[in-house]
Amino acid sequence: MLFEEKITYVSLEEDVDDFFSAYSLIGNVYEYSKIRMKYLKEMFKLFHILSFSLLILFFSSSSVIAASTKNWTEIAATSDGIQFIDTQSIRYKKGILFILTKYSEINPENNDILSTKSYQMEIDCQKRLFKTDSSKNWEKPETKLMKAAIIKSCTY
C-alpha cells in the first residue's frame, strides 16, 4: 500500500477525563477569585474603619487644643467672683452680641478660686439685657458684677 493511513483511536473515557480536569481547573480558579475578592473586601472595610478612626481622633484632639487656647480677658470683678470673656468668640448678629464667658467664684477670705463655670451669653447692648445658654428669656442684670460685665462686653 502506497498510502498507509494511520488512524489513532482515542477512547471516549480519556476525552471525558480531560474535560472534567479542565473544568475542575476552571472551578479552582473561580474559587480562588472568590476567596481573593472576599479578602480584598475585608481589607477595604478595615481600611475604611482605620481611616474613620484616625479622622475622629484627629478632629477630637484638635477641638481639645482649640478649647485650651481661649483668650480670656477679665471684664468685671467683685470680692465674690471674676467675670471673663473670650475675646476671640465675640460676634455680632442683628445687634445682639454673642460671647463665650467664664465666671470664677472666689473665696473672699483668701481669694482662692472655688469654682469656674463657662457658658455662652447673648447680650442686647442697647437694652442692657442678657440671656445665657441655660435661659430662654431676656433678663435684666441684678448684680453689680453682671451689670459691669454687660457694659464692658458691649465695648468690644
The whole-number pLDDT of residue 58 equals: 79
Residue 140: pLDDT band with limits 50, 70, 90: very high
The whole-number pLDDT of residue 114 equals: 87
Integer Cα distance of 156 and 153 in angstroms: 6
Residue 65: pLDDT band with limits 50, 70, 90: low
Query: Within this chain, do residues 112 and 124 fall inside the same structural domain, yes or no?
Result: yes
Single out the residue in 48, 69, 90 at which a domain terminates: 69
Q: Is residue 53 part of a domain?
A: yes
Query: Within this chain, do residues 45 and 95 fall inside the same structural domain, yes or no?
Result: no
Single out the residue in 69, 88, 116 at which a domain terminates: 69
Q: Computed over its alpha carbons, how large is the radius of gyration of the chain? A: 39
Compute the average pLDDT of residues 44-50. 89
pLDDT in tens, 90-117: 899 888 999 999 989 988 888 888 889 9
* Range with lowest mean pLDDT among 29-38, 47-56, 102-111, 128-137: 29-38
CB 128 within 8 A of CB 146: no
Integer Cα distance of 6 and 125 in angstroms: 113
Q: Is residue 39 part of a domain?
A: yes
**Domain boundaries, position 60:** 10-69
Q: Is residue 4 part of a domain?
A: no
